[in-house]
Structure 1
């Protein structure tokens, strides 16, 4: 009987592997049809073959002259087929030439580095800054992008509030108490990390139902392609009302976060020794797994941007151990994915003893740390590779989903190899962790490629020229020259400037103390703009070229705003009213309207599109108003009093015309009035006055176009000639 059981188990395992292969093969073939169409997709025979796995973290990819592409996972097939077939042999991204060029014999590409086990994607904040209003078709496109870029590990955090609601109701909380706890949709990321409660809420019942359905679709597709989704776990934060239901509970109220007061901040943290800790953590994880299944990796962040109530290593170890024990009590194979941002964000608190307490409280290999901002401020170098715990070298790049050409490509290119070669390195992968997406695609293309490389790209100038050729589907010398200029300027950030955040005066509340310094020569941006316009007759049919031309035009106008602002400030300080009015008039009444008009020619840069997505997620007009107001707040004031003002700034048509431009007009008028009256400019009074304009925009119900108007190339050329 024992032999029979062993044979049955072996047969079941083998049959399960065959099933998985067939499922992933079907999923990657369907992806090819979605992207290329049935005809071009038929030129390839995509196949998942587990036997091609060469060991832990190693992928073998085979491509034959007949178009047979095989690898051990759906992700590996999709990514390597796209990068090798489209990039290497066809010189394009996804627009394949017909007929396909011949493949020179049989190829066999083997990735053997164990450090490449994971290619991770997402930041907890991405779900709020970029994903919040997405429906399934938009999520499907994103998962396709993930597969094509080799992502095999990613957060899947949608729908968790529905599970938490079940848990809280089972524990005895009322619906009103739960409504007071959850944030609105655009601020859920910070509710999930314990930073906020209540702000922008409550969450409607229909939100939970839609997110549950969406999460099932996301998980099904991720798993079908061979990705490992990371589910959420209990980090220790509880609603205030827990104290009513359990009067003896031991909870600590933490300090405020992000310039909010305790009305919306000051999280309630359950003591690690309290018996409710494993109870709540266990109930949540059991219910989550019952609903969604599991791949055994869970994310939780207890002290994200919040100082713990004690720096005692014993307390920090106990708090960490409590989170992990609640996981393994339900799933004995649990691995904890921790964002390492807390160590970077408050280095003065997280000394060696404190860091060691957290990292040592989880068994070796069961804590997977994201070195979240490693391209700029790596933590592995000052923690001895996270004290032996495995870590993923991550590129954060963007804060708040800002527009603005930006990148540290040299640092990104060198970083993963340096981390792999670090003494006693425990690096197990690379990661892409922006707070917001939808900008600077070249940065993400490089990072995705590095996930498959042992060494840095040897020549970034050649690489970026090749990137331009693939991006536009044709070699064009002027366009490639423009990209080389961008590489040496906006994409060559180093040092303290590399925070990935747009501090341009254009998107900041005006004052006389604004910093206009940049790390590059603005002339390179203006020359790249000229070269792209010169290239436009040959590339005007390329959607990616038109997008890039608009983005560089936007950046050039942003630079001009800084230059005219400097003239405004100098004129004010020298009490030259005529000069102030001249420069201020160009900035507020010419540059910004011209920028808004150019932005309106592309659907990626429309405020109306962003707001329409929010309203489309609603099931009633009441919900639509709530969601739209969430969107407007996030882009501007962020909190009710401008608590994190302009952090998530965007340059969108409509937002420039009706939010940024009125602020600048008021600023110029206030400065002129100050000079005319021979009275000092009062920044405090201006801040009060301009807040009324900002608040009016947030509370407005004005509708904006969700369809582009005007021709990008024509508008960009006119703006170039004008300025």
Structure 2
């Protein structure tokens, strides 16, 4: 590709969202000052002066911040070319000059007094236009039950980490309802179409319909309210919210209202039958396509305004009806043309997951048909899983379309220590240096958040670095020091061990999905291999426990101690499962009873007790979010059941079983433990009666337990019980491998 074409493609994206008036500058500065007050309190916030000056980025057009001042009696001066840039500069100061730490699990914000001086004025520009955040699935796995208070904290976290491009997809079903009613669908037909709240992400991508629904009227009202507040706050920082657009999927009822409409019924998805999947896709040449697409976008932008970037995914994990390039180009062009009918400045944000998910379908001609159907610079591709399976390399930098190098990292919101930090550290710089690279940003695109915070801290920092971190060992040591509020040798050593083990996965096998036997339906064919030396995890566990006299008062340390204890227990489950399987295959009943008894009747209950000591690991806290989002007891029960289904069976018959597994107190005791007890009992019975173990019969029996958990109405504690340090020590003394 000629370099001039690449530059032209990038130019449009570099200009998108740029500019703004003096009023915008003042608004963004005020937003950052208000963030400071929320983060530090009004009095410490007064020691900072924040300004937004577009001129800082005049030459490059790229977000820039400047730090100066501080020291005895002097205010710290933070200037940014946007509110986001100023917030990122503020975060840099708190992190590197004050040793502070901001994270999902909590923050360490002990400010030195007086505030440290910036020795000489520090100016930093990001190497890329965008720092992107979210995955369509994050909306369901993590955000689904959030209220405004929780959204406000997240948007503050986004601003501090320099995020300037993010999905804002709340409330869209309310807009779709208006459109469908205007088209002549009945309310019952619309109710029948929407999924339940916990499954909306896959309804939005056309994978599912109906499952877990219908959506209550109150849901639409509350989500509209939330979306207005989310957008207002994002825009106040100068972020670009990405709104949804029409991807071509329609309810079956459209064929009743318009009998001549040309639709294709897609194949099933995710082990669901057509009662819940097999969506209807409008033919790109059908006259209803631009009508429905423009109706939706016009209604949406009238309600919420626009920043001109829209997301839509037509073939997410679904094979198109034809592999003909002409069809794929037409389907892509139809989505884009419906956008520009309403907004001539529209840029389409496309999740590039489809290209790597089905590489056997998406050959060069098929990929080229999609990428070439939208004018260069108007299609912005998320290379969604670039840390493990980058697509830009095999598509010649997406054939000239701008792309964002994304780290996906987490699937389903699983717990489990995991990361590819060495690969992540090198990835963005390598993508920038790729021949004729059209990379315009970095991104974090996890399916679920609230875990492995070290991974996201590194990725956020890389959004502002031109080169990789030179020494990840030193970096992770400073991460621990900031997180706990001081340097402690044992804690540093523990983190270096975690870096070289659980956080150093490499190669295409690193999916990030937790497949530990602990959280999977038991069988005799479970895989317990890991890419690291488990002894590193156990030694990190020992070292963290050794630092408890010094660090036990740190909430972040207690969280990490519990998380590493949970990981150690997960490793022990694999060990005892191996003992159980070997004993069964060797027909050693006594050994089977011993190992199975430890696993199912001692270790798992002990793990549940440790998890119960921290509110961040409580099933009760998780389910209470769902209940609080409701306006009646019946609705609370409905929302809670949606949440229980997502954590476990995912579909009515275990369609995507345990995909969104979590290790939460209550879930371990009442879901995972009974499964293991039933499994051990079935193996014992098999040996005693000298009959083969029947996996199919076991699956039928264990499904009854799984379904009973989902349908149960038992309320779980929302307050922690017990002391994390004492309980972790007790588990350690009993199980630490010697």
The TM-score with structure 1 as length reference comes to: 0.97
Q: CA deviation at 1:112?
A: 5.9
SS of structure 1 residue aligned to 2:406? strand
Distance 2:544 2:322 in 1: 56
For residues 437-448 of structure 1, the aligned pairs below 5 Å read 437-448=449-460
Q: Does 2:528 match 1:524?
A: no
- Counterpart for residue 338 of structure 2: 326
2:259 to 247, 252, 277: 247
Q: CA deviation at 1:14?
A: 14
Asked whether the 8 Å contact 1:278–1:326 carries over to 2, the reply is yes
Q: CA separation of 1:579/1:363 partners in 2, compared to 1, >3 Å: closer, same or farther?
A: same
1:291 to 300, 303, 306: 303
- Counterpart for residue 106 of structure 1: 120
Q: CA deviation at 1:644?
A: 0.2
Distance 1:516 1:679 in 2: 26
Provide the alpha-carbon RMSD of the alignment: 1.2
Residues 158-180 of structure 1: CA deviation (Å, up to 9, x unaligned): 00000000000000000110011
Residues 570-623 of structure 1: CA deviation (Å, up to 9, x unaligned): 000000000000000000001000000000011111100111110111111121
- Counterpart for residue 56 of structure 1: 61
Residues 169-195 of structure 1: CA deviation (Å, up to 9, x unaligned): 000000110011000000000000000
1:629 to 630, 638, 641: 641
Distance 2:375 2:180 in 1: 30
Residues 390-449 of structure 1: CA deviation (Å, up to 9, x unaligned): 000000000000000000000000000000000000000000000000100000000000
Distance 2:66 2:280 in 1: 50
Asked whether the 8 Å contact 2:420–2:504 carries over to 1, the reply is yes
Distance 1:373 1:61 in 2: 32
Q: CA deviation at 1:714?
A: 1.0
Distance 1:25 1:556 in 2: 45
Q: CA separation of 1:168/1:64 partners in 2, compared to 1, >3 Å: closer, same or farther?
A: same
What stretches of structure 2 of length at least 5 have no aligned partner? 1-16, 102-107
The 4+ residue runs of structure 1 with deviation greater than 3 A are 13-16
1:432 to 437, 441, 444: 444
SS of structure 2 residue aligned to 1:397? coil
Distance 2:124 2:550 in 1: 38
- Counterpart for residue 349 of structure 1: 361
Asked whether the 8 Å contact 1:40–1:96 carries over to 2, the reply is no
For residues 127-138 of structure 1, the aligned pairs below 5 Å read 127-138=139-150
- Counterpart for residue 7 of structure 1: none
- Counterpart for residue 78 of structure 2: 69
- Counterpart for residue 347 of structure 2: 335
Distance 1:474 1:269 in 2: 57
Distance 1:446 1:29 in 2: 25
SS of structure 2 residue aligned to 1:206? helix
- Counterpart for residue 212 of structure 1: 224
1:150 to 138, 148, 162: 162
- Counterpart for residue 86 of structure 1: 94
Q: CA deviation at 1:49?
A: 1.4
Q: CA deviation at 1:90?
A: 1.6
Q: CA deviation at 1:55?
A: 2.2
Distance 2:347 2:374 in 1: 9
For residues 605-624 of structure 1, the aligned pairs below 5 Å read 605-624=617-636
Distance 1:702 1:112 in 2: 50
Q: CA deviation at 1:43?
A: 1.2
Q: CA deviation at 1:528?
A: 0.2
For residues 489-568 of structure 1, the aligned pairs below 5 Å read 489-568=501-580
Distance 1:279 1:490 in 2: 50
Q: CA deviation at 1:316?
A: 0.1
Asked whether the 8 Å contact 1:252–1:268 carries over to 2, the reply is yes
Q: CA separation of 1:375/1:282 partners in 2, compared to 1, >3 Å: closer, same or farther?
A: same
The TM-score with structure 2 as length reference comes to: 0.95
What stretches of structure 1 of length at least 5 have no aligned partner? 1-12
Q: CA deviation at 1:111?
A: 1.4
Distance 2:433 2:238 in 1: 29
SS of structure 1 residue aligned to 2:152? helix
- Counterpart for residue 663 of structure 1: 675
Q: CA separation of 1:508/1:16 partners in 2, compared to 1, >3 Å: closer, same or farther?
A: closer
Number of residue pairs aligned between Structure 1 and Structure 2: 708
